[in-house]
Amino acid sequence: MYIYKKQGFTLAEVLITLGIIGVVAALTMPSLIQNYKKKEYSVRLKKFNSVMANALRLSEYENGGNLFDNYSGTALDFFTAYIAPHLIYTKIIKSPSGRYLDSVPVEATVFFNDGTLMDIRVGACMGYLFDVNGDAKPNATGRDQFGFVYCGNNTPNWKTGWGPYDNSGLEFPTRDLLLTQCKREVAATYCSGLLQYDDWEFKDDYPYKL
Protein backbone atom coordinates (compact mmCIF):
# COMPACT_ATOMS: atom_id res chain seq x y z
CA MET A 1 0.00 0.00 0.00
CA TYR A 2 1.39 3.33 -1.09
CA ILE A 3 0.90 6.69 0.60
CA TYR A 4 1.02 9.77 -1.68
CA LYS A 5 2.11 13.01 -0.09
CA LYS A 6 0.57 16.17 -1.58
CA GLN A 7 3.09 18.83 -2.52
CA GLY A 8 2.32 22.54 -1.92
CA PHE A 9 3.95 25.92 -1.67
CA THR A 10 5.24 27.31 1.54
CA LEU A 11 4.27 30.80 2.66
CA ALA A 12 7.81 31.99 1.96
CA GLU A 13 7.65 30.72 -1.63
CA VAL A 14 4.29 32.43 -2.22
CA LEU A 15 5.59 35.73 -0.84
CA ILE A 16 8.73 35.52 -2.98
CA THR A 17 6.62 34.85 -6.10
CA LEU A 18 4.29 37.74 -5.35
CA GLY A 19 7.28 39.98 -4.76
CA ILE A 20 8.76 39.07 -8.15
CA ILE A 21 5.40 39.73 -9.85
CA GLY A 22 5.21 43.10 -8.10
CA VAL A 23 8.69 44.11 -9.24
CA VAL A 24 7.96 43.10 -12.85
CA ALA A 25 4.68 45.02 -12.78
CA ALA A 26 6.36 48.10 -11.36
CA LEU A 27 8.95 48.00 -14.13
CA THR A 28 6.51 47.45 -17.02
CA MET A 29 3.46 49.53 -16.01
CA PRO A 30 4.98 52.99 -16.74
CA SER A 31 5.92 51.82 -20.24
CA LEU A 32 2.45 50.36 -20.85
CA ILE A 33 0.77 53.55 -19.64
CA GLN A 34 3.06 55.68 -21.80
CA ASN A 35 2.30 53.59 -24.89
CA TYR A 36 -1.43 53.75 -24.17
CA LYS A 37 -1.28 57.55 -23.89
CA LYS A 38 0.62 57.82 -27.15
CA LYS A 39 -2.01 55.78 -29.00
CA GLU A 40 -4.91 57.61 -27.35
CA TYR A 41 -3.47 61.05 -28.04
CA SER A 42 -2.62 60.11 -31.63
CA VAL A 43 -6.21 59.06 -32.30
CA ARG A 44 -7.61 62.24 -30.75
CA LEU A 45 -5.22 64.51 -32.65
CA LYS A 46 -5.96 62.82 -35.96
CA LYS A 47 -9.71 63.08 -35.34
CA PHE A 48 -9.52 66.75 -34.30
CA ASN A 49 -7.43 67.71 -37.32
CA SER A 50 -9.80 65.94 -39.69
CA VAL A 51 -12.99 67.34 -38.13
CA MET A 52 -11.72 70.92 -38.09
CA ALA A 53 -10.36 70.71 -41.64
CA ASN A 54 -13.69 69.39 -42.91
CA ALA A 55 -15.70 72.02 -41.02
CA LEU A 56 -13.62 74.86 -42.47
CA ARG A 57 -13.66 73.34 -45.95
CA LEU A 58 -17.46 73.22 -45.89
CA SER A 59 -17.63 76.77 -44.63
CA GLU A 60 -15.26 77.97 -47.35
CA TYR A 61 -17.50 76.33 -49.94
CA GLU A 62 -20.57 78.04 -48.49
CA ASN A 63 -18.93 81.45 -48.14
CA GLY A 64 -16.84 81.52 -51.29
CA GLY A 65 -13.18 81.21 -50.43
CA ASN A 66 -10.78 81.86 -47.57
CA LEU A 67 -12.65 82.97 -44.46
CA PHE A 68 -9.84 84.97 -42.84
CA ASP A 69 -8.82 87.28 -45.68
CA ASN A 70 -11.37 90.00 -45.00
CA TYR A 71 -12.26 89.15 -41.41
CA SER A 72 -11.77 91.67 -38.59
CA GLY A 73 -13.88 90.35 -35.70
CA THR A 74 -13.09 88.25 -32.64
CA ALA A 75 -12.01 84.63 -32.63
CA LEU A 76 -15.27 83.68 -30.92
CA ASP A 77 -17.36 85.44 -33.57
CA PHE A 78 -15.33 83.68 -36.27
CA PHE A 79 -15.96 80.32 -34.62
CA THR A 80 -19.67 81.00 -34.19
CA ALA A 81 -20.15 82.19 -37.76
CA TYR A 82 -17.99 79.78 -39.72
CA ILE A 83 -17.08 76.68 -37.71
CA ALA A 84 -19.85 76.02 -35.17
CA PRO A 85 -22.51 75.14 -37.80
CA HIS A 86 -20.35 72.22 -38.96
CA LEU A 87 -19.04 71.05 -35.59
CA ILE A 88 -20.46 69.10 -32.65
CA TYR A 89 -19.52 70.52 -29.25
CA THR A 90 -21.04 70.72 -25.78
CA LYS A 91 -20.36 74.28 -24.59
CA ILE A 92 -18.30 77.43 -24.99
CA ILE A 93 -16.83 79.45 -22.13
CA LYS A 94 -15.87 83.01 -23.05
CA SER A 95 -12.53 84.45 -21.88
CA PRO A 96 -11.59 81.75 -19.34
CA SER A 97 -8.97 82.97 -16.92
CA GLY A 98 -5.58 81.29 -16.72
CA ARG A 99 -5.47 79.85 -20.24
CA TYR A 100 -2.97 81.12 -22.82
CA LEU A 101 -1.92 80.56 -26.42
CA ASP A 102 1.53 81.90 -27.34
CA SER A 103 1.61 83.70 -23.97
CA VAL A 104 -1.57 85.60 -24.93
CA PRO A 105 -4.86 85.02 -23.04
CA VAL A 106 -7.34 83.00 -25.10
CA GLU A 107 -10.70 84.53 -25.99
CA ALA A 108 -12.81 81.44 -25.42
CA THR A 109 -12.69 77.69 -24.88
CA VAL A 110 -14.79 75.17 -26.79
CA PHE A 111 -15.56 71.85 -25.06
CA PHE A 112 -16.19 68.63 -26.99
CA ASN A 113 -18.20 65.59 -25.95
CA ASP A 114 -15.16 63.28 -25.87
CA GLY A 115 -13.53 65.25 -23.02
CA THR A 116 -11.18 67.28 -25.21
CA LEU A 117 -11.26 71.07 -25.59
CA MET A 118 -10.01 73.83 -27.86
CA ASP A 119 -8.79 77.32 -26.88
CA ILE A 120 -9.22 80.04 -29.50
CA ARG A 121 -7.78 83.49 -30.11
CA VAL A 122 -7.03 85.76 -33.08
CA GLY A 123 -3.65 87.13 -34.12
CA ALA A 124 -1.83 87.00 -37.45
CA CYS A 125 -4.05 83.95 -38.02
CA MET A 126 -6.86 82.34 -36.09
CA GLY A 127 -5.07 80.35 -33.36
CA TYR A 128 -6.36 77.10 -31.89
CA LEU A 129 -4.83 75.17 -29.00
CA PHE A 130 -6.19 71.63 -28.80
CA ASP A 131 -6.04 69.90 -25.41
CA VAL A 132 -6.27 66.12 -25.81
CA ASN A 133 -7.31 65.47 -22.20
CA GLY A 134 -9.37 68.56 -21.45
CA ASP A 135 -8.76 70.31 -18.15
CA ALA A 136 -6.66 67.44 -16.79
CA LYS A 137 -2.99 68.13 -16.11
CA PRO A 138 -0.29 68.81 -17.18
CA ASN A 139 -1.89 71.44 -19.50
CA ALA A 140 1.46 71.93 -21.20
CA THR A 141 2.19 72.49 -24.89
CA GLY A 142 3.90 69.54 -26.51
CA ARG A 143 2.55 67.18 -23.87
CA ASP A 144 -1.24 67.44 -23.92
CA GLN A 145 -1.76 70.74 -25.79
CA PHE A 146 -1.03 71.21 -29.49
CA GLY A 147 -1.28 74.31 -31.68
CA PHE A 148 -3.16 74.77 -34.97
CA VAL A 149 -3.96 77.80 -37.14
CA TYR A 150 -6.28 78.99 -39.86
CA CYS A 151 -4.61 81.66 -42.01
CA GLY A 152 -5.45 83.96 -44.90
CA ASN A 153 -3.91 83.91 -48.37
CA ASN A 154 -1.43 86.70 -47.66
CA THR A 155 -0.27 86.00 -44.11
CA PRO A 156 3.56 86.17 -44.13
CA ASN A 157 5.39 82.92 -43.28
CA TRP A 158 2.16 80.99 -42.71
CA LYS A 159 0.46 78.53 -45.05
CA THR A 160 -3.00 79.43 -46.30
CA GLY A 161 -5.95 77.75 -44.61
CA TRP A 162 -6.01 75.13 -41.85
CA GLY A 163 -2.98 73.33 -40.48
CA PRO A 164 -0.58 72.80 -37.57
CA TYR A 165 1.66 75.56 -36.24
CA ASP A 166 4.54 76.09 -38.67
CA ASN A 167 5.79 79.57 -39.62
CA SER A 168 8.89 78.34 -41.43
CA GLY A 169 7.51 79.74 -44.68
CA LEU A 170 8.34 76.44 -46.41
CA GLU A 171 5.80 74.47 -48.39
CA PHE A 172 7.38 71.18 -47.37
CA PRO A 173 9.57 71.61 -44.26
CA THR A 174 11.91 68.76 -43.40
CA ARG A 175 11.35 66.55 -40.41
CA ASP A 176 14.60 67.80 -38.86
CA LEU A 177 13.31 71.37 -39.02
CA LEU A 178 9.95 70.38 -37.53
CA LEU A 179 11.70 68.48 -34.74
CA THR A 180 13.85 71.54 -33.99
CA GLN A 181 10.76 73.75 -33.88
CA CYS A 182 9.06 71.31 -31.54
CA LYS A 183 12.02 71.47 -29.17
CA ARG A 184 12.54 75.23 -29.21
CA GLU A 185 9.66 77.27 -30.60
CA VAL A 186 7.02 79.00 -28.44
CA ALA A 187 6.86 76.51 -25.61
CA ALA A 188 6.41 73.50 -27.92
CA THR A 189 3.21 74.76 -29.56
CA TYR A 190 4.84 73.82 -32.87
CA CYS A 191 4.95 70.10 -32.08
CA SER A 192 1.72 69.61 -34.04
CA GLY A 193 3.71 70.13 -37.25
CA LEU A 194 6.10 67.32 -36.36
CA LEU A 195 3.22 65.05 -35.39
CA GLN A 196 1.41 65.69 -38.67
CA TYR A 197 4.59 64.81 -40.55
CA ASP A 198 4.70 61.52 -38.60
CA ASP A 199 1.01 60.78 -39.34
CA TRP A 200 0.09 61.90 -35.80
CA GLU A 201 2.25 59.26 -34.15
CA PHE A 202 4.62 59.95 -31.26
CA LYS A 203 7.93 58.55 -32.50
CA ASP A 204 10.77 57.41 -30.23
CA ASP A 205 12.59 60.74 -30.64
CA TYR A 206 9.57 62.85 -29.70
CA PRO A 207 11.12 65.31 -27.22
CA TYR A 208 8.43 65.41 -24.50
CA LYS A 209 7.10 62.81 -22.11
CA LEU A 210 3.33 62.46 -22.19
The string of pLDDT tens digits covering residues 170-187 is: 888 999 999 998 998 666
User: What does the pLDDT read at residue 28?
Assistant: 57
User: What does the pLDDT read at residue 157?
Assistant: 82
Type of residue at 148? F
Could you tell me the pLDDT band of residue 2, with boundaries at 50, 70 and 90?
A: low
Type of residue at 14? V
CB 59 within 8 A of CB 80: no
* Range with lowest mean pLDDT among 38-47, 95-104, 166-175: 95-104
User: What does the pLDDT read at residue 184?
Assistant: 82
CB 209 within 8 A of CB 143: yes
What span, in angstroms and rounded, lies between the C-alpha atoms of 7 and 32? 36
User: What does the pLDDT read at residue 52?
Assistant: 97
What span, in angstroms and rounded, lies between the C-alpha atoms of 148 and 166? 9
Q: Is the pLDDT of residue 127 over 70?
A: yes
User: What does the pLDDT read at residue 14?
Assistant: 63
Average pLDDT over residues 61-76: 93
3-state class (DSSP) for residue 6 = coil
Structure-model confidence comparison of residues 172 and 63, the more confident one: 63
Q: Is the pLDDT of residue 1 over 60?
A: no
Sign of CA dihedral 37, 133, 87, 67: negative
What span, in angstroms and rounded, lies between the C-alpha atoms of 19 and 98? 45
